[in-house]
Amino acid sequence: MLFPELDDPKAVAKNVGGLVRWANGHDELGAATLSRIPYALGLIRQNS
């Protein structure tokens, strides 16, 4: 799945493909609190 195809109305995911840094892909997602984990898991499941 390409980053623009991700349904992320809260805009918590970032496209980091153009940045020069060590990474394991082109997308970045963080969950600052436990209450945001279900939303983050929903984003992850879109790509599986």
User: What phi and psi values does residue 13 have, to the nearest 5 degrees?
Assistant: -85, 150
Beta bridge partners of 27: 15
- Give the distance, in angstroms, between the CA of residue 29 and the centroid of all CA atoms in the same chain: 4
Q: Looking at residue 34, what is its pLDDT?
A: 93
Nearest to 28 by CA among 45, 12, 4, 8: 12
Count of domains in the chain? 1
> Minimum mean pLDDT among 2-6, 19-23, 27-31, 33-37: which range?
19-23
What is the average per-residue pLDDT within 13-37? 78
Q: Looking at residue 37, what is its pLDDT?
A: 92
Higher-confidence position of 44 and 4: 44
Q: Give the structural domain span for 24.
A: 3-46
Q: Looking at residue 19, what is its pLDDT?
A: 72
pTM for the complete prediction? 0.70
How many residues appear in the chain?
Answer: 48
